[in-house]
Amino acid sequence: MADTERGRVRVTLFSLEEANQTVKDVRLEMEAMVQARRELTRVDRAIEVLELAMAGADPTNPDARELEVRVARRKALMQRLQHGVERIQRRGCLVKDLERGLLDFYALEGDRLVFLCWQLGEPEVAHWHTLEGGFGQRRPIPGRLD
């Protein structure tokens, strides 16, 4: 977990078993956040359309009220996502992508710092990648599910 107090960064290192336990603990929260992220995308699209519809329209137009409702929903969703990410990251892992439901966990491979990588829908943490590599560079952990 990053801690910027006094300019130092603290990283929580996970064993494979600890990462898998954390996945069990946060899976439902990640599912809810992925759904909230999808809804936010839909709400953003609706807002774009309503803003176009409202260009030059009278403020009493029914679309004005709908726009207010959608903007309020966007604000609520953004707060929900922010709080959810904070709750999960307080456990020491990193939320990398809310559209895919990606979590990374700092771990050691010998004397090298790497990420254990999990994606929503996978039964367990079964991949790793370098800190620079990202999801596209992930590799199976030997002896784990592919």
> pLDDT tens digits for 19-43?
999 999 999 999 999 999 999 999 9
What's the distance, CA 35 to chain centroid? 11
Tell me the two tokens of residue 53: 């519809």
Task: Give the pLDDT of residue 54.
Answer: 83
What's the distance, CA 51 to chain centroid? 28
Distance, in Å, from the CA atom of 126 to the CA atom of 124, rounded to the nearest integer, reads: 6
The pTM score is: 0.83
DSSP-assigned states of every residue in 20-55: HHHHHHHHHHHHHHHHHHHHHHHHHHHHHHHHHHHT
Quote the mean pLDDT of the chain. Answer: 90
Distance, in Å, from the CA atom of 66 to the CA atom of 97, rounded to the nearest integer, reads: 30
Which band of pLDDT confidence, cut at 50, 70 and 90, is reported for residue 142? confident
**Residue 3 confidence (pLDDT) above 60:** no
Note whether 103 and 21 are within 8 A (CB).
no
Residue 90, CB-side half-sphere exposure with 13 Å CA sphere = 7
**Residue 47 confidence (pLDDT) above 60:** yes
Task: Give the pLDDT of residue 61.
Answer: 82
Task: Give the pLDDT of residue 1.
Answer: 36
Question: Of all residues in the chain, what percent carry a pLDDT higher than 90?
Answer: 73
The pair phi, psi for residue 142, each rounded to 5°, is -50, 135
SS3 128: strand
Which band of pLDDT confidence, cut at 50, 70 and 90, is reported for residue 139? very high
Alpha carbon distances (Å) from 102 to 28, 58, 83, 96, 125: 13, 44, 17, 5, 11
pLDDT tens digits for range 77-121: 999 999 999 999 999 999 999 999 999 999 998 889 999 999 999
Q: So where are the chain's domains? A: 5-140
